[in-house]
Structure 1
Amino acid sequence: MLSIASLKSRWTTFVGTFVAVFLGVAILSMTASVLLSAQPTIPDRYRGSPVVAQSSPVDQQDGRFTDTKPWSAAKAADLIRSFEALPGVARAIPDRTFYAQPVLGGVPTVGVDEGHSWSSADLAPYRLVSGSAPATAGEIAVSRTVGVGPGTTLTVLTAAGAARYLVVGTVDGPGVYLSDSEAGRLAPGVRVIGLRLDPGADQDAVQAGARAALGGEGQVLAGAARVALEPMADQRVRWIGDQVLTGLGSLGGFVSIFVVASTFAFVVVQRRRELGLLRAVGATPRQIRRMLLGEAVVIGAVGGALGVGLGAIMAPVLGDLLVSAGLEPPTFTVETRFLPLASAFVVGLLVAVAGVWSAGRRAARIRPLEALREAAVETKPMTRARWWAGGVCAGLGLLLVALAVVGDPDDMMTNSLYAAMALIVGGTLLSPVVIPPIVRVLTYPLATGALGLVVRESALTSVRRTASTAAPVLLTVGLAVLVAGMVETSTGGYAVARELATRAEVVVLPNGTPGLSAQAVAATPGAALLPTELYGDNSTHYPATGVDPVEFAKTNTRLTESVAGLSGPDTAAITESAARRLGVRAGGTTGLTFEDGQKVTLRVVAVLPDGSSPTPILLPRQTVREHAPSALTSAVHVSGPAPASAPLGAQVLDRATYAANADAEEDRLVRLFVVLLLVVALGYAALSIANTLLMSTTGRIADFTTLRRAGATRRQVTLAVAGESVLVVAIGATLGFLIALVALFSMTTGLSHTLGAPVPLTVPWPVPLAAITTSLALALTATTLPTHLTLRDHSVT
């Protein structure tokens, strides 16, 4: 009852805490609902096939989302015969997939770049809307969404180049379809064979028979297990979306705990006299803790319940935004479930309780008459627990800084982010120690004036209050500088590394297509990079690139060994790490499987230092083309004059522009991720700034009265309060900026070591300036406005 009565009488004090819990639970429930909905789904292409055989999956630890190891055409034919011999199997259909992109109005169509064999349309099944099925090499059926009908001659980009096909039919599914013989030429390797069953067939028996026929060269999927057939591109997009959602939830949780904890800590500071009075009239330390805990439970329960409702409403909206931004597949939909909503409510309650725990312990230690006799000067702003907690967080932050410099490069950015979080918490806890010297330095030029003296001494007298009000500014500026700086520094670092890795003055890249065709490469003399994938035993795989050894050596600045031996179809140059994995050395041989499913014994003609090659294995370009007819060139590095014009589906860039834009899509997704993170973090921090300073100002009526009685005018009192606000923002911004710079420096050092090139530390100044400006505007509004209203009261004057 005392907790409820306290909330009723002091409801304005807890508005900020309530809103922090409310928004935190809303974000958590929203992101959790979307995250649990972001599960793999059975591709529409295979919904009509209750049993599907898939070739062997490969290891995905490198995070590249590599497709399964393909069967050869001969192996696929044997499997088809075995499957069709099983009782209940009406037909076994291989799905051959290859690059095919229609060109309309001289421009490659967006979103349609995948071709299939016509027979595979029956796996969905997709049906003809008009016309007939393609039967010869020059015929094609297209999705009706392409907008062309039977009888139209359509230009289609394939890996070989632009080709003209006669449209003979339209279908109700996506993509383009060629005759089975033409598809077999473009995609000889097979990864999926779908089984169409006879009516009444025993699916379990078919599945068991197919598994026996397959042996250990793949897996048989049925029912819900067919989600494993989701395209790797969709899996990658889903993974990126999951990282965004996890980051949003994690940062939302961190900031909400920070805001709630700092707000409750400040509430205890403001209520010391009240709590001392309660102790004086007989309240025990346990009762004080229970009162504060009860306040937190009520705030957490009410804020959590409302937050869950808002989160459930906003989850579908967030899902649509992620799909529009390319962070989830187009088929993604959000389902409202009880578990994420209930979990978010519980988390909100725990956040409120955890936030008040430390403040409750401190409040319980107030002696009955201590607060009533206490002077305005704080004699002991740092407690033993605060020293320990601050030291541990600062030490953990410095340890993570060191790990970011010398640890695993894959964990570098994560370590830097966690280091900053730990240092922010540590800096907040230890801020009463460093605030006095900072205050003296910042106010030294103003110490001779009356107002400057009042501002300085007020901050020095109430160090704990100054620390509490500066904490949200520290958080705001620290996160803004850190997150934005991490993105710009890493983007700039990779651009520098790309620019230093090539001597080419001009680079030709895809434009509106996933890669360059052989036709486009032939029109652009230079070092063409033709990527492919090679497959070893035991689920291992190796990225490889087909190159012309002479042209490649001309443009690659990091190549220290000769690759002139790449002259035959069985030759390969491999990096030192790949050589160790394969257990081979120069002059030795190793057997690897290509995209057409053929295993080839390759002779190692050179072992290259790691980092000197774009991929672990280099092959002659013609070798890749023979075994991967649908492989697309990623780039052509031109050491001579720039081409007069760009081929179809290509663009010509100078070296600097190429270096800055080679990963444009990745950079777009990362920047979108950063915007979402900053919106959450800065929104929370802005709330905390306004709430904490408003509480601080409304609790200082006695100070205003003293100043007025000492002869200060209303304007002078307001200016003094404004000066304190500016000082608080300056303190928080200074500490936040320094902490962020420490984390950024660690990341920059580690990145320079990883890339083998000096990486400049880049701070996008508009972001921290916007954060500081916003903090200052909120601080001045939250202090001067209530001060002005308070001074209008005659009792203060």
Structure 2
Amino acid sequence: MAPFSLKEGKAPVGDGEVVLDTGLAARGGVGVGQRVRIATRSTPVEFQVVGLAALASGETLDRQSALFFSPRRAAGLDGKPGQAHAIGVLAAPGVSPDALADRVRAATGKDTVAVVTGVERSTVEFLDVSQTRTLLLAIAGSFGGFAILVAVFVVASTLALVVNQRRREFALLRAIAATPKQIRKLIGTETMLVAALAGLLGSGLGLVVGHGLRDAFGAIGVIPPDFELAISPIPLAAAFLLGLGAARLAAWSAARRPSSIRPVEALGEAAVERRELGRGRIVTGWVLVLLGLGGSLVPVFVRGEAALAASSMSALIVVIGLAVLGPRVIALTNRLIAPVLTRVSRISGYLAGANNQANSRRLAAAVTPVMLAVTFAISMFYSQTSAAAAKQEEAVQSTTADHVISSTTGALSPEVAQAVRRVPGVAAATSVVRTEVINTMQEQENLRVERYPAQGLTGDQVRGTLDLGVVSGRIDDLAGDTVAMSRSEAGWYDKKVGDEVEFWFGDGAPAKLRLVATYTRDQAFGEYVLPADLARAHTGDRMDDSVLVRQEPGADSAAVTAALHDLAARYPGLTVAPGSTVAAASDGQVKAQFYLNLVAVGVILGYVVISVANTLVMSTAQRSREFALLRLVGTSKRQVVRMMRLEALATVGVAAVLGTVVAGIPLVLLNIALRGTPLPSGPPAVFGGIIAGAVLLGLLSLGIATRMTLRARPIDAIGLRE
């Protein structure tokens, strides 16, 4: 059934016999005839190595080790006599696996077993494969949505700048009878031609980025390191079409103003940049700002992932609103900055302030992508660190246990908690079993499936080790077919103590349990708390994650600690730590999610950084005639460079301040709701790095573009067409 064959010895027959794979035997330095100690769900037991097995291909195992016991001993070690995890079926010669699979389904019933063939067999042996697929689908949906939103936003800003630079050309076309529809078609066609070429290049380069993301996700533990990247033309086609759609939407937005110029006003419109904004644009901008600020209040009323998503999304909506109001916002900020620039440099500073005031649209186009980058980076990073800190702080504050027992192997035998209770001086010891539950919610015609972190506790041992913040019922009644829920979750489903609660365990088994208590500290302990025995029965290994220990008042702490350490001789890998080191229920998930977001944000920020540099270079390169005119009327090259340096500082300064404020408001409200403090959690150096990166990017982009533009002689540059 498996691709193993005996290389030495014989197959295991007796209860005390075992066969090891050759790689494991080599690492352990054992051979046939020697004895080894193996721990499963209890204390280690001695077995005699009667054989060594290896893959038929001769390769060594990378992801796991293989141990083979006799059938009776294997059933006893698993703890489920008469049951099997999987049954392997070999097709007879001439019978295709798919045809045989159909016959097996017909014989057993579709609702009884799951029959898999081909690469799908990996999901049976490696549970993390199917979990990874589900996770990657969620990542693709969330990450892809953000990427498209940012792409439309940034491309629209860039196109607006390009269209503004060509306003004389469009004005002339309107003056010689070009219709608004023709102008819109011209801009749309040009944009689609560029987008099609960029889409073809981007789809190919996306494969390279895909391999990089797979390696990054594998390195941080989000997916298995050997998870293969599937190459298919469907994602390439989808990305290409989405790119074209984003570009078309951006072109439609950018083409509205030049296509609406009346022919009579065309040439006058081209002479001076239009400064007023349309009423519709002003209303739209303020509506978006107010919606974003309203969304930032969601964490005050809602907990969990919804609060984090609303906080991050609200900042992005405010940025879009400010971008719509860009020229007006920039004009207001420039009134404050212009006097400062003049004091810094009487000539260059005055010119920088005057340029910003006269060309607020151009400045707004340069500020917007920088502001977006700052807001996005700050919001995504510090919202995750704040959420993780809130969970961990609540876990530490709520844990009244004196000791936390865990294992370096990642799991503890249920016997450990029983052994701890027999230690003199121990008042209580509760097993902690980390798991999850699955619930469903009907949304119109769709059924939404939600996974919630949960944990199992020993009800009569919880008091004195954990303070869940119980508000109704008794946590001591947590035994048998019972459950405790967070107050918010119970309120959402309108459940009260004594009611029957229905959901699914993490292994897919249905649950109908009686609600015995509700609690408030759900950040640290999850939405559901189950009896430890019940939670353990629905996990893959049926092991404990940790044991929380409370000493009796007046007990000798050193003696109790020493006795707990002595248990390590019976249960290898056992560690004893102070109760303050307890981790939140979803601490591992939070860390994985944090690194996942960090990688995803890095990719999006990389795109935004390219767009920022492109926008700043474009806004500078179009000013060759302006620079030439300044130099012809007596301004030195140094004064022009200093003017642009001050403009760059003003651009990135405004963007950094606005981006920080926009990201700061939702973060402050999020931290007040989750942690009771307005200060976000996380290293301040990251914030400094984000701001420094934005400033450096702005100065380099504008500085290089300025020096390149100033290379031409003023008398030659003044005659160039715009």
TM range (shorter): 0.7 to 0.9
- The residue number in structure 2 matching 1:142 is 20
1:465 Cα deviation after fit: 1.0
1:476 deviation in Å? 0.7
Counterpart-to-counterpart distance in 2, 1:483 and 1:775? 16
- Answering whether residue 129 of structure 2 is matched by residue 234 of structure 1, we say yes
Q: CA deviation at 1:564?
A: 5.6
Partner residue in 2 for 1:131: 9
Distance 1:696 1:633 in 2: 61
TM-score by length of 1: 0.72
Residues in 1 aligned to 2:626 and 2:438: alpha-carbon distance in whole angstroms = 77
Alignment match, 2:637: 714
Alignment-derived partner of residue 384 in structure 1: 279
Aligned positions of 1:173-188 closer than 5 A: 174-188=65-79
d(CA) in 1 for partners of 2:391, 2:531? 25
Once residues 765 and 253 of structure 1 are traced to their aligned partners in structure 2, the CA distance between those partners, rounded to angstroms, is: 30
SS at match of 1:609: strand
Tell me by how many angstroms 1:491 deviates: 0.8
The residue that corresponds to 1:60 in the other structure is none
Alignment of 1:44-55 (within 5 A): none
Quick one: distance in 2 between partners of 1:352 and 1:542?
Answer: 40
Aligned residues of 1:162 and 1:519 also touching (Cα < 8 A):
no
State whether structure 2 residue 671 is matched by structure 1 residue 748. yes
Correspondence 1:553 to 2:444: no
What does residue 781 of structure 1 align with? Answer: 700
Shift of the 447–344 alpha-carbon distance from structure 1 to 2, 3 Å rule, reads same
Call closer, same or farther: CA 1:611–1:136 in 2, change over 3 Å: farther
CA contact (8 A) 1:473 1:732 kept: yes
Per the alignment, residue 165 of structure 1 pairs with 47
Change (3 A) 1:158 1:403: same
CA offsets 1:427-465 (integer angstroms, 9 cap, x no match): 211122222232233444444452333222221221111
- 1:350 is displaced (CA, Å) by 2.0
Distance 1:228 1:462, change over 3 A: same
TM-aligned CA distance change 1:775 to 1:553, over 3 Å = same
Matched, 1:702 2:613: no
Distance 2:241 2:536 in 1: 57
Q: Say whether the 8 Å CA contact 1:409–1:750 is kept in structure 2.
A: no
Shift of 1:597: 14
Of 369, 389, 392, the residue aligned with 1:472 is 369
**Matched residues in 2 for 1:782 and 1:711: separation?**
26
SS at match of 1:142: strand
Amino acid corresponding to residue 12 of structure 2 in structure 1: P
- Verify the 8 A CA contact 1:140 1:167 in the aligned structure 2: yes
Q: RMSD of the alignment, in Å?
A: 4.4
Bigger CA drift: 524-533 or 633-642?
524-533
Aligned partners of 1:532 and 1:544 also within 8 Å: yes
SS at match of 2:296: helix
Q: CA deviation at 1:708?
A: 2.9
TM-score computed with the length of structure 2 as normaliser? 0.79
**Alignment partner of 1:682 out of 605, 608, 621:** 605
> 1:415 aligned to 2:310?
yes
Match of residue 608 from structure 1: 517
CA distance in 1, matches of 2:550, 2:113: 47
Q: 2:350 aligns with which of 453, 458, 462?
A: 453
TM superposition shift of 1:482: 0.4
CA spacing shift, 1:729–1:405, aligned 2, 3 Å:
same
Q: CA 1:521–1:420 in 2, change beyond 3 Å: closer, same or farther? A: farther
Does residue 637 of structure 1 match 2:548?
Answer: yes
Residue type matched to 1:221 in 2? V
1:407, distance to aligned residue in structure 2 (A): 4.1
1:491 aligns with 2:384: no
| In 2, Cα distance between equivalents of 1:152 and 1:485 | 55
Query: Deviations 1:638-685 (Å, cap 9, x if unpaired)?
Result: 44447345833233444444348x755434422321222232222122
**Cα distance per residue 1:156-209 (max 9 Å; x no partner):** 232213333222233346532322222322334336452646847999999899
SS in 2 for 1:334: coil
Aligned residues, how many?
A: 663
Q: Does 1:770 align with 2:652?
A: no
Q: Judging changes above 3 Å, is the alpha-carbon distance between structure 1 residues 167 and 583 closer, same or farther for their aligned structure 2 residues?
A: farther
Offset of 1:299 from its aligned partner? 0.6
Listed as ranges, the gaps of 5+ residues in structure 2 are 56-64, 441-448, 552-556, 718-722
CA distance in structure 1 between the aligned counterparts of 2:673 and 2:544, rounded to whole angstroms: 31
Q: Which one of 215, 219, 222 corresponds to residue 113 of structure 2?
A: 219
Kindly indicate whether the alpha-carbon contact (under 8 Å) linking 1:210 and 1:220 is maintained by their aligned counterparts in 2: no
Q: Say which SS state the counterpart of residue 328 (structure 1) adopts.
A: coil
Give the % identical residues. Answer: 27
Q: Which one has more relative contact order, counting CA pairs under 8 Å at least 6 apart?
A: 1
| Alignment CA distance shift 1:391-1:271 (3 Å) | same
Structure 2 letter corresponding to 1:669: A
**Which residue of 1 is the match for residue 652 of structure 2?**
729
325, 331, 335: which one aligns with 1:430? 325
State the distance in 1 between where 2:332 and 2:536 align. Answer: 68
Cα distance in 1 for residues equivalent to 2:161 and 2:437 = 61
Residue pairs, 1:349-368, within 5 angstroms: 349-368=244-263
| 2:415 is the alignment partner of 1:518 | yes
- Where does structure 1 lack aligned partners over 5 or more consecutive residues? 1-121
Give CA deviations for 1:707-757 in whole Å, capped at 9, x if unaligned. Answer: 3345432212111111011101111111211221233234335545xxxx7
Aligned AA for 1:145? G
